[in-house]
Chain A
Amino acid sequence: MKHQLRVDPVACSGHGLCAELLPELITLDEWGYPLLADRRVPASLAKRARRAVTDCPALALLMSEAPGTASGNAVSEETQRRRILGTQARVRS
């Protein structure tokens, strides 16, 4: 399955963690905000991409299935965040 990374620019506060976890696809601009490679996430990187998504301290990195399907993404991204929040909470406790 092809995945596409996106950044929620409002949520992103430039921690830069994503670029460390996934340098193949993410670099930082001169102000510390992520620049995403203009391609989908190859299967070989899918696992680390998911890791980058879940570890983003601002929950600003999002991964959706294929680009485009607008409203579908909306839901899945929200769900994604909720899931991540749940995971983080579990890890902390």
Chain B
Amino acid sequence: MKGTAMLPTVALDAARPQAAASQPSGPPTPGPQAPGLPPPGPQAPGPPTPGLPTPGPQAPGLQSPGQQTPRPQAAGPQAAGPDQHGTTPPGRDGGPFRRLLPPAAYSTAGLAAHIRWFGQLPYRGRPGSLIRDVRAAGLTGRGGAAFPVWRKLEAVLGAAGRPVVVGNGAEGEPASHKDKTLLTAAPHLVLDGLQLAAEAVRADSAVLYVCCDRPALQRLSAIVAERAEHGIDRTRVRIVSAPPRFLAGQESALASVVSGGAALPRFALPRVSERGVDGRPTLVQNVETLAHLALIARYGPGWFRSAGTPDEPGTMLCTVRQESSAHVAETPLGEPVDSLISLAGTQAVLVGGYHGAWIPSAQATGLPLSNAALRPLGGSVGAGVLAALPADRCGLVETARVARYLALESAGQCGPCRNGLPRIATALAQVADLRPRSAVLDDLSRWAGLADGRGACGHPDGTVRFVRSALRTFAGEIRRHLGGTCSASCDRHFLPIADGPTDDADWS
């Protein structure tokens, strides 16, 4: 989907040069053969971990990595070297934090490079064994809901019937680009995770569900074919193209598309984990979650927990949007929001995307990027979107544009969503355009209450969360608009909106 056309900067770490440069060359370590093949048990966070990737920036020459640039194999380690984490909090100034995404100069898109960097795919040989590790690691879903991964794995493993696993890379959120970036930069890591998840739940088929253009689709198909050819994948992988809709990645809508139907969410029960694709138990995990899973299988839960907070361990990918640039960065949970995104000259940050929340820049300064810290402010980390609204724009105009988009993206199945969202969007547009009706604020709050929690999926709830946060954060601007003036001096749009057809439904 290309609301992201302006994303060339997604050159992930382009934005953070020298710190990057100094490290990647440092932490080579075991050569190609060494990496964490069978994930040894004993690897805890301790720096001098045995068999696995030695961490620490200073760990360099351990075993001369061989020929060319000494980079192979570091990812997990180097970035997360527990000790390193202790001394140099990764972040804006501490150098890039890289577990999933290799340095820009080193592509793991190729199979050989992937294996050199991350090591072989460590199959466990039996279902279920990985679930313990994932539970100990505390991995949660990175698609937005942050649901504990082990619980889904267990539910699917325990359900009746032969399961299907699906790697969800639909990323229907126009402001997010992290899944596409990951699938480009480290597709094999995602596919490793898909295989491991399939093994863990005894699935006999796997699906990679992605929304991308034809060339990218062909690249992924070639990669899947290459892995099959080398006998890496034990479970056959099928690629299914997701429609470019906001809701395409919603779990039950996904199950419907993969089964050959339309991208429509269904009423919650039975769960997709019990009856999803073709009526079979279905494990749906975001592609980034699968990549983390593939690393946990290699380096262990202790290593995974060496980044992040005790309650929300690990790292996450974030799409960081500023005035005129956007890039994808990896960060440990709990890092201050402003270590990822510059708040100077901004008025508010949208955290978590279009189902997320606006937070005034003043409050975002020093605020940890974690659900625990965001919840009291009505937000969540969601799928990792951070967008800092420049001070010269109108937050109401941006909110109204997005609200309109979200209303048009409603599947239109549930009355409260079908009736409420367009009314909310229209009222917001009236406020933004300085032609508010008298009771507009009362209407907005009443409609928000009527839409909230009354749909089959979370779309009305998320939209209402977003709108309510705007009413709070831009309260001052609303007063100004009601009085007929707007403080913005620039009317260039900031938040991206998908450019596909949004007004007539194309659910195929």
Contact = CB atoms under 8 A, between A and B. Distances in A.
Q: Do A and B originate from a single complex?
A: yes
B413 A71 contact: no
A71 B269 contact: yes
A71 B270 contact: yes
B234 interface: no
Contact of A9 (B269, B270, B456): B456
A12 interface: yes
A11 B274 CA distance: 21
Contacts of A29: 416, 450
Given A9-B267, A70-B269, A74-B269, A30 B450 contact: yes
A68 to B, nearest CB: 12
A5 to B, nearest CB: 14
Nearest to B274: A71
Interface in A53-71: 70-71
B419 interface: yes
A73 interface: yes
Q: Chain B binding site: helix, strand, loop or mixed by DSSP?
A: loop
B231 interface: no
B417 to A, nearest CB: 8
Given A29-B450, A30-B450, A33-B454, A9 B271 contact: no
A9 B413 CA distance: 8
Given A9-B454, A33-B454, A74 B415 contact: no
B445 to A, nearest CB: 14
Interface string A39-81: 0000000000000000000000000000000110111010000
Interface residues of B, number: 17
A26 to B, nearest CB: 13
A35 B451 CA distance: 11
A87 interface: no
A29 B414 CA distance: 13
Interface string A1-34: 0000001111111100000000000000111110
A9 B419 CA distance: 13
A71 B454 CA distance: 20
Contacts of B267: 8-11
A10 B253 CA distance: 13
Nearest to B413: A10
A61 to B, nearest CB: 13
Contact of B455 (A9, A14, A70, A71): A9
B16 interface: no
Contacts of B417: 9
Nearest to B411: A10
A52 B274 CA distance: 30
B266 interface: yes
A31 B419 contact: yes
Contacts of B271: 70-71, 74
Contacts of A7: 454
A13 B419 CA distance: 12
A10 B267 CA distance: 7
A52 to B, nearest CB: 17
Contacts of A71: 269-271, 274
B270 A31 contact: no
Interface hub of B270, B415, B454 (most chain A Cβ within 10 A): B415
Given A9-B456, A10-B456, A31 B269 contact: no
A13 B415 contact: yes
A14 B271 CA distance: 25
Contacts of B269: 70-71, 73-74, 77
B416 A33 contact: yes
Interface in B406-447: 413-417, 419-420
Contacts of A14: 415
B332 to A, nearest CB: 33
A74 B160 CA distance: 15
A30 B269 CA distance: 27
A16 to B, nearest CB: 11
Interface string B259-279: 000000011011100100000
A77 B266 CA distance: 15
A29 B452 CA distance: 13
Nearest to A29: B450
Contacts of B450: 29-31, 35
Interface string B177-207: 0000000000000000000000000000000
B414 A10 contact: yes
Nearest to A32: B415
Contacts of A11: 267
Contacts of A33: 415-416, 419, 454
A79 to B, nearest CB: 12
Contacts of B420: 31
Nearest to A11: B267
Interface in B42-67: none
A71 B270 CA distance: 6
6 contacts: A8-B456, A9-B456, A10-B456, A31-B419, A33-B416, A77-B269
Interface of A: 7-14, 29-33, 35, 70-71, 73-75, 77
Given A31-B415, A71-B270, 15 more contacts: A9-B267, A9-B454, A10-B267, A10-B413, A12-B414, A12-B415, A13-B415, A31-B416, A31-B450, A33-B416, A33-B419, A70-B269, A71-B271, A74-B269, A74-B271
Interface of B: 266-267, 269-271, 274, 413-417, 419-420, 450, 454-456
Enumerate the 7 nearest inter-chain pairs by beta-carbon distance, A residue then B residue, closest first. Answer: A74-B269, A9-B414, A33-B415, A74-B270, A31-B419, A10-B413, A8-B267
